[in-house]
Amino acid sequence: MDFLPLFHQVGDQSALIVGGGPVAARKAQLLLEAGASVTLLAPELAAASQILVDEARVLWINAVYEARHLQQMDLIVAATNDQQVNHQVAADARQLRLPVNVVNDPTAGTFIFPAVIDRSPVVAAVSSSGAAPVLTRLMRGRIESLLPASMGLLAQLVGQYRKQVQETLSGSTARRRFWERVLNGVIADRAMTGQKEAAGRLLEEELQHFRQGDHGRGEVYLVGAGPGDPDLLTFKALRLMQQADVVLHDRLVSPEILALVRRDAELIYVGKRRSEHAVPQEGINELLIRHARAGKRVCRLKGGDPFIFGRGGEEIEQLAAAGIEFQVVPGITAASGCAAYSGIPLTHRDYSQSVRFVTAHLKNNTSDLKWDELVTAGQTLVFYMGLVALPEIARQLCAHGCSPDMPVALIEQGTTPQHRVFTATLSTICDLVDQHDVQAPTLIIVGEVVKLHHKLNWFKPAVEG
């Protein structure tokens, strides 16, 4: 290990940056964020440094470097474009036993600036010891994506109650289990969404449960898994999936997404096909409540978005009636994901000024949809679960005034590696289904915007009809 990572408190220190270019400005910004008093020493300033001076955030000494400038300083940065000057600054600082950083030359100084992930008061730092700064920035980006932007709010909550927890729970094991429960559940999410009072109230209730020896309060996460591509999961969805003890999942949740669930979680398949339900809806509701009451964190993982034809509202109604804590994580609905991956904008200034989502489930091979409202100029129609009903959809739309030549797209297994797109018209689309053996899950898009598919498609070549 070439450098020992340390976190220094510089809020009461004076920092001198020798140099006035863009790099000097970036170093000044970091030091200012940590509370240091910053002085720039340079005969001239670049625009970024000049802004800091104009805003009175830093002092500027308009001069060429001399060793005397190090007097009364606590920390030094050599950031000129002249390596000879930089090395002289480093040598002078070392002689005075001052910490010094030399930009682009980690061995010349006594410390380096890492890539910083700031979720104050939580701060993470990444370094390659100066060997690979681009790699360090990429690593920082990866870590940034894993840490919620509001992580600092959660850390503040923990700091506020830390002493109370120490006084209430005896033994490090009990305290560790308590904090794991807080940091991996609904309390943490309340804190990170700015609901400070609600988070504090729940934390105090949980603390009393632990004090009484009851560690069994569970909760449910209703999570939208998106249309299939794992990269379309939200950060929050992934985080909750990886902390759940039990996962109830639909058939539309792809194997690639299930692979991201915590490895030791219990997986329960509750998928539904037409006229074939692995578990009836009432049974799903019962499973959610039973596992939560057993003290488990339960993830209800649903394809697409749970509130768009996903019966998510019915499920959380039952949870609320049972007094179970829950939270909802929206997902990218099939209409948005499948259309975007097929180069079909759902709205477009020249073709469509509105979009309508429709469930196409038929009862007794008939439909009570308000077809007159669906046949409207400048509107895109998106039918979910409509493959079996496609002949009826085409017939009814044409019967209510839609042109038989209206473009139609069928998107099969959208956003997955098996993604296929078939385009035709209302009068020819059913024949195309028979020719290509199109299977569910398939999304149907009806409207002039389908014409743009051939121009804008980027994900996979289309199968033409």
For helices 281-293 and 312-321, angle between their N-to-C axes, nearest 10 degrees: 40
Query: Torsion angle, CA of 374/380/386/390, rounded to 10 degrees?
Result: 70
Q: What is the mean pLDDT of residues 289-300?
A: 92
303 is in an annotated binding site: yes
Q: In the prediction, which pLDDT does 20 show?
A: 96
Q: Is 308 annotated as ligand-binding?
A: yes
pLDDT, average across residues 227-251? 92
Return the DSSP state at 68: G
Q: Specify the DSSP class assigned to residue 76.
A: E
Burial 52-88 (b: 16+ CB within 10 A, else e): bbeeeebebeeeebeeebbeebebbbbbbeeeebbeb
Residues known to be catalytic: 250, 272
Exposure string of 104-132, with b = 16+ CB inside 10 Å and e = fewer, is: eebebbbbbbbbebbbeeeebbbbbebee
Tell me: the pLDDT tens digits for 155-168? 999 999 999 999 99
pLDDT reported for residue 54: 95
Phi and psi at 324, nearest 5°, equal: -90, 130
pLDDT recorded at residue 408: 97
pLDDT on residue 465: 44
Q: Decide: helix, strand or coil at residue 123.
A: strand
Q: Decide if 422 contacts 389 (C-beta within 8 A).
A: no
User: Is 304 annotated as ligand-binding?
Assistant: yes
User: Was 295 annotated as part of a binding site?
Assistant: no
pLDDT tens readout for residues 311-370: 999 999 999 999 998 999 999 999 999 999 999 999 999 999 999 999 987 555 556 788
Positive or negative torsion for Cα 111, 112, 113, 115: negative
H helix intervals, 147-241: 151-168, 172-183, 186-192, 196-211, 235-241
Q: Looking at 184-290, which runs of residues are DSSP E strands? A: 219-224, 246-249, 266-269, 272-273, 276-277
CA distances from 172 to 118, 145, 211 (A): 28, 31, 13
* pLDDT tens-place string over residues 18-32: 999 999 999 999 999
Q: Express as a percent the part of the chain with pLDDT over 90.
A: 66
Identify the pLDDT of residue 216. 60
pTM above 0.75, yes or no: no
| Residue-level pLDDT at 1 | 79
Cis before 230? omega within 30? no
The overall average pLDDT reported for the chain is 91
Q: For 354-370, how does the pLDDT look when each residue is reduced to its tens digit (9 = 90+)?
A: 999 999 875 555 567 88
Whether 43 has a binding-site annotation, put simply, is: yes
Walk me through the domains of the chain, giving residue ranges and CATH numbers. 14-113 (3.40.50.720), 148-216 (1.10.8), 218-332 (3.40.1010.10), 335-464 (3.30.950.10)
Q: Who contacts 374 (Cβ-Cβ below 8 Å, separation ≥6)?
A: 356, 358, 381, 397, 400
Q: Is 192 annotated as a binding residue?
A: no
pLDDT of residue 366: 58
- 385 marked ligand binding residue: yes
Q: Is 227 annotated as a binding residue?
A: yes
